[in-house]
Copies of this chain bind each other. A is one copy, B any other.
Amino acid sequence: MTREERNRRPSPAATSPPEQTEPWVNSRFMKACRLEPTDTKPVWLMRQAGRYMKEYRDLRARVPFLELCKSPHLAAEVTVTAAERLGVDAAIMFADLLLIAEPLGFEVEYDQSEGPSVRPALRDAADVKRLREVNAQESLGYLFDAIRLTRAELNPKLPLLGFAGAPFTLASYLIEGGGSRHYRHTKSLMYRDPGAWRALMEHLARNVANSVNGQIAAGVQAVQIFDTWVGCLNPADYREFVLPFTRLLIERITPGVPVIHFGMGTGMLLEAMREAGGHILGLDFHVELDEAWARLERAAGTRVGIQGNLDPAVLFADLSYIRERARKILDQAGGRPGHIFNLGHGILPDTPVDHVVALVDYVHELSHGAHAASREK
């Protein structure tokens, strides 16, 4: 697809809702994705189903992480329980960025404290050649089953989100063999063998797109692309080594389905990430939402949606302070449609659940009618 063709693609705001009006189509979340006004601000929280929640810890005491991801009934239960408990405006399918690593030819182990380990680490062009093509229906069937179950159980007014790792973040896990601090091996491959790097990134973009489209076919209403670790790059490296492949992924996603594009430490990359694609850009907590949004609109020349961006550490503060900080984000977003309230990173372990519930309530309470009021101005 050429640049011109891309520019001619309808923006989400111009996309008409599906013919058969499912109950979620005019939910706050889906309206915000289409940059339409809402009565109250939609809110969901990254890692809303996770270790901070007792129900989840109890389940995990019995079931290892990977088994949980691969058990459709349990994954559906975790997804629905979290969304209902918090009163958020969207559920996100309980799953993991690295589920696709197995069918790509890697062994993945999850250690509660250390994070995932991926073996054998991918280090050179020969390793790239050994990557397998993923038959998503076959190897990720459990995920699609979980989505179907979740969609059936979930309040039909709530949209369900799918997600996947962006090519860079996925590549960094495969190359480093897990999480990393300096991305030394990832950058070494990038700088030393750009040909192998491109082959790897293309392979990942194509296969991740298949997984995302499988999730959409199974019943998710929107997807978030996590380029969690891409903030380790400067803008020039991002444009050369990442942007074309994230764009390739996003362009292959089923048209009409809103895409949220998120990464950590991306304050310097926002304009380039916007160029890579996505209808909504997810902001981390290092940026001021109003400044970031203004920058993006200046750069893009068109309206763009924003998700974010409360610092998850604020949830350890007193309730009155949490309320004040939630209000600040809402004020920064102003009455403009196209803002989805979220944290600027996932909920941290040990976060008090009642503080999380309170945050969701504050967002609803403080934003109720505000949009309507601003529309009348």
Interface residues of A (CB under 8 A from B): 182-184, 187-188, 191-192, 231-237, 265, 267-268, 285-288, 311-314, 316-318, 321, 328, 348, 350
- In whole Å, how far is A95's beta carbon from the nearest beta carbon of chain B? 22
Structural contact, A318 and B192, CB atoms closer than 8 A: yes
Contact B317 A348 (CB under 8 A): no
B182–A285 touching, CB < 8 Å:
no
If A184-B348, A192-B316, A234-B311 are given as contacts, then 18 extra A-B residue pairs at C-beta distance below 8 Å, sorted by A number, are A183-B313, A184-B350, A187-B311, A187-B313, A187-B316, A188-B313, A188-B317, A191-B313, A191-B318, A191-B321, A231-B265, A231-B286, A232-B286, A234-B285, A234-B286, A235-B287, A265-B286, A268-B287
Instruction: Identify the closest chain B residue to A187 (Cβ).
Output: B313
Chain B residues in 8 Å Cβ range of A234: 285-288, 311
Q: Is the CB of A288 within 8 A of B191?
A: no
Residue of B nearest to A324 (CB): B191
Task: Tell me, rounded to whole Å, the shortest Cβ–Cβ distance linking A236 to chain B.
Answer: 6
Q: Is the CB of A316 within 8 A of B267?
A: no
* Bound complex: CA A182 to CA B285 (Å): 12
* Pair A192/B268 contact, Cβ less than 8 Å: no
How many copies the complex holds: the figure is 2
CA distance A268 to B290 in the complex (A): 13
**Chain B's nearest CB lies how many Å from the CB of A214?**
32
Contact A288 B187 (CB under 8 A): no
- CB of A190 to closest CB in B, whole Å: 9
| Chain B residues near A321 (CB-CB < 8 A) | 191-192
Chain B residues with CB below 8 A from A183, complex form: 313
Contact across chains for B313 and A192 when beta carbons are under 8 A apart: no
Say yes or no: B182 contacts A288, CB within 8 Å. no
**Distance in Å: Cβ of A187 to nearest Cβ of chain B:** 4
Q: A265 to chain B: which residues have CB within 8 Å?
A: 231, 265, 286
